[in-house]
Structure 1
Amino acid sequence: MIVVSAFAKAEIVSLPSLTTTQCAMCRAVLESEEDNSTAKGINNGIKYLMVIPYILVGGVFYFVYKSRKKDKEKTI
């Protein structure tokens, strides 16, 4: 029962409060600059970290597709 009640209380948290959560240090550094160059750098880093796994997985699927297509042509 304790787990269920804790889970129910966790769902009560509103969505806007979840979208603004950051560590205090990051938020202080990003809000203190006037030119937002650090914020742009962090956003670019997030994009970089997000895109690389998709490229790697896409490359693996491409080579698997290519090898299966080649094997299918050999059998015909």
Structure 2
Amino acid sequence: MKKLIILFFFTVAGGLHEVAAQCAMCRTTLENNFSNGHAGIAAGINTGILYLLCIPYLAVGILGYLWYKSSRNGGKELTDSITAG
């Protein structure tokens, strides 16, 4: 399980440099705002993009972990009931 978590972390961390690429309209807006001295807007949009990227993976990861723990506990209860019966 630890190997899977480490692999997932490095996969996500390795793909973060590609997150900086935005659509053409966003890129144009950010370049215009940055050239006009509004660098905070660009940072906010980039943070929003990272937020939108991470939330679905985090949700799927949490659900997968809960499902894994639930299936392990269910299997243990099943084997306990078979050996006790």
Whether these two folds match at TM > 0.5 is yes
- TM-score of the pair, normalised by structure 1: 0.61
More helix by share: 2
Residues 43 and 51 of structure 1: CA distance in aligned 2, closer, same or farther (over 3 Å): same
CA shift digits 1:15-52 (9 cap, x unpaired): xxxx6861175245334332511110010000010011
Equivalent of 1:59 in 53, 57, 62: 62
**RMSD (CA atoms):** 2.4
Task: Find the residue that maps to 1:34 and give its secondary structure.
Answer: coil
- Partners of 1:47 and 1:58 in 2: how far apart? 17
Partner amino acid, structure 2, of 1:22: A
Larger RCO, structures 1/2 (Cα 8 Å, 6+ apart)? 2
- TM-score of the pair, normalised by structure 2: 0.55
Q: Which residue of 1 aligns with 2:24?
A: 22
Partner amino acid, structure 1, of 2:40: S
Q: Computing the radius of gyration over CA atoms, which structure comes out larger, 1 or 2?
A: 1
Return 5+ residue gaps in structure 1 as ranges. 1-18
Do the aligned partners of 2:33 and 2:42 also contact (CA within 8 Å) in 1?
yes
Residue 75 of structure 2 corresponds to residue 72 of structure 1: yes
